[in-house]
């Protein structure tokens, strides 16, 4: 239990990003169709272990951060890379440009677990409890988080606006599917994390 405390770190809000980056696909990069889920466990992402100054800030816009697995289970092959997700179904036409900052043993093949405050603490439930004095199972339900935009008031004030992303941008649609392609990371994201893909160093 003591070691988990070292995983947890302060997450702050950044302003909405106004600049629109040039979207440049990576030749022979990751691409395909994927499922999405959402989480927020207040813990240091697995991709951060090699980056001492790495940090995550909650981004209240169509840019963001995600855990990912392309092979199923723990998969660090995508660390620091950026993915352009094009939503299908009810959210057809919406896009999310996200940097991969984490992975996880509970992820399936081609699975993005989007980081959204109030999105559910999942397996690692102690991070938000220690950082924000959250309930044992986080805000809302442990797997799924808060169930309405109104419940975002249960979160600490600095996280509330980003909690509303699930309704303001995702329109309350739970776990939408996406088509995805790997793209060059815009400076607007990498400057927040100092996380640079190995193949661009």
> Which residues touch 16 (CB under 8 Å, ≥6 apart)?
59, 60, 61
Q: Is 198 a catalytic residue?
A: no
- Name the E strands within the chain: 12-14, 31-39, 57-59, 63-69, 82-87, 95-102, 111-115, 178-183
Residue that has been written with the tokens 């690692």 in this structure: 124
Q: Dmax of the chain from CA atoms?
A: 45
The count of residues in the chain is 201
Q: Which of 41, 60, 75, 113 is catalytic?
A: 41
Positions marked active-site: 41
């Amino acid at each position: 239990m003591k070691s988990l405390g070292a995983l947890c770190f302060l997450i702050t809000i950044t302003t909405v990003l106004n600049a629109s980056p040039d979207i440049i696909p990576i030749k022979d990069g990751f691409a395909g169709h994927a499922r999405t889920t959402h989480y927020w466990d207040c813990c240091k992402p697995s991709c951060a272990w090699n980056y001492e100054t790495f940090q995550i800030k909650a981004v209240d816009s169509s840019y963001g951060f995600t855990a990912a697995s392309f092979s199923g289970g723990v998969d660090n092959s995508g660390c620091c890379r950026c993915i352009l997700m094009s939503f299908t179904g009810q959210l057809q036409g919406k896009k999310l440009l996200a940097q991969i900052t984490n992975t996880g043993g509970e992820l399936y093949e081609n699975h993005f677990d989007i980081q959204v405050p109030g999105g559910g603490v999942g397996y690692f439930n102690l991070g938000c409890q220690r950082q924000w004095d959250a309930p044992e199972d986080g805000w809302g339900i442990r797997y799924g988080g808060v169930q309405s935009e109104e419940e975002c008031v249960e979160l600490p004030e600095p996280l509330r606006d980003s909690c509303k992303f699930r309704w303001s941008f995702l329109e309350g649609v739970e776990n939408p599917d996406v088509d995805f392609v790997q793209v060059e990371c815009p400076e607007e994201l990498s400057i927040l994390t100092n996380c640079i893909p190995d193949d661009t160093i």
